[in-house]
Structure 1
Amino acid sequence: MVKRKKVQKETFEKYKSIEYLADEEKKLFTVAFDKMRNAYAPYSNFHVGAALLLEDGTVVGGSNQENASYGLSMCAERVALFSAGANYPNIPVKKLVVVTKNYDKAESNKGHDNCILAPCGACRQVILEYENRFGSDIEIYLMDSNKKIYKFDSVKQMLPFAFGGYFLK
């Protein structure tokens, strides 16, 4: 008989709304919502924006970019991270905010009254790569359909059994 073990549940901080955040995080939400308007999503109409705060105070944004061949599309989180990596290669990422305009769509399709837009598996893996690259965690801020904010100290809280470069050495 196989003995089952529970996966450790991680914790996060929950805020009632953006108003409870520091000005630095509020600015990131503003940038993320602004970038969301630049999303190219003609097929899914699923618009996502992301904003990063780099260690030197630079803010980098991104939006999802779709392709008719969905596998070639790029999520907002990766657009922002790859832009930061290309333009600021030696500056660690401190914070990431992800937003969408499609909370109502998620609620009606899933029957939930509280849907959180969280990074997909590929984005989680890329976020982890940036954490490992610089040896520092990236705080992640997400919003739910009721405008509540969820703060995670690291992507490791969302990706407990991650694949890392240490497997390749």
Structure 2
Amino acid sequence: MINHEIKIAFEEYSTFHELNDIDQALCREAVKALSGSHSPYSNFCVGAALRLQSGRIIYGSNQENAAYPSGLCAERVALFTWGANYADDPIESMAVTAYTAKFVINKPITPCGSCLQVLAEYEKKQKQPIRTILYCQDGSTWVTNGIDSFLPFLFFEDRLVAVPA
């Protein structure tokens, strides 16, 4: 038997003001993205903002549907928008935040497994990590440099790549 240990790394900032100006600005953009949330069932709004290498900002917000599995998370809305429209302009960083009137969110929310897998796929596609900022408006902020700290066992199967004809 071989015993393995996995360690993750992330930065924790106790207040938004400890972040650098560029990260603070992206967090404010994620807050703006909350306004596009369609969350009439959970009343839990999530906003995501991507900053591309060109400086362009892409927004995503969670989209719920009465046919519950038909909705989509804010992170995937933003990431798929990038993939469909701006794939030649690498993603430098992504900020994610949430809001609900039902309770105080006092720690950062983390992307779901599906969003992490999409994030991993796009990091691989652009051949560089995506700085991820999980911004809690009433608490701390967590920052990682790439997907490895969230999803150490990524699903990648290189043999699934289409073989040229």
TM (norm. structure 1) is 0.87
| Rounded Cα–Cα distance in structure 2 between residues aligned with 1:9 and 1:167 | 28
> In the alignment, what sits opposite 2:131?
139
Q: Do the aligned residues in 1 keep the contact of 2:34 with 2:47 (CA within 8 Å)?
A: yes
Percent identity between the aligned chains? 37
> In the alignment, what sits opposite 2:140?
148
Shift of 1:72: 1.0
Distance change (3 Å), C-alpha of 1:74 and 1:128: same
> In the alignment, what sits opposite 1:123?
115
Structure-to-structure mapping, 1:48-67, within 5 angstroms: 48-67=46-65
Unaligned runs of 5+ residues in structure 2 are: none
| Rounded Cα–Cα distance in structure 2 between residues aligned with 1:64 and 1:52 | 14
| Rounded Cα–Cα distance in structure 1 between residues aligned with 2:140 and 2:95 | 13
> In the alignment, what sits opposite 1:110?
none
Q: Do the aligned residues in 1 keep the contact of 2:27 with 2:97 (CA within 8 Å)?
A: yes
The number of residues matched between the two structures is 161
Unaligned runs of 5+ residues in structure 1 are: 108-113
Q: Do the aligned residues in 1 keep the contact of 2:97 with 2:137 (CA within 8 Å)?
A: no
Distance change (3 Å), C-alpha of 1:5 and 1:148: same
Structure-to-structure mapping, 1:2-151, within 5 angstroms: 3=1, 5-102=3-100, 105=103, 115-144=107-136, 146-151=138-143
> Which consecutive segments of 4 or more residues in structure 1 shift more than 6 A?
none
Q: Do the aligned residues in 2 keep the contact of 1:103 with 1:144 (CA within 8 Å)?
A: no
Deviation string 1:37-86 (CA, Å, 9 cap, x unpaired) is 22000111110000001111111111000111121101000111111222
| Rounded Cα–Cα distance in structure 2 between residues aligned with 1:18 and 1:104 | 22
Shift of 1:135: 0.4
Shift of 1:165: 4.3
| Rounded Cα–Cα distance in structure 1 between residues aligned with 2:59 and 2:12 | 23
TM (norm. structure 2) is 0.88
Q: Provide the aligned C-alpha RMSD in A.
A: 2.1
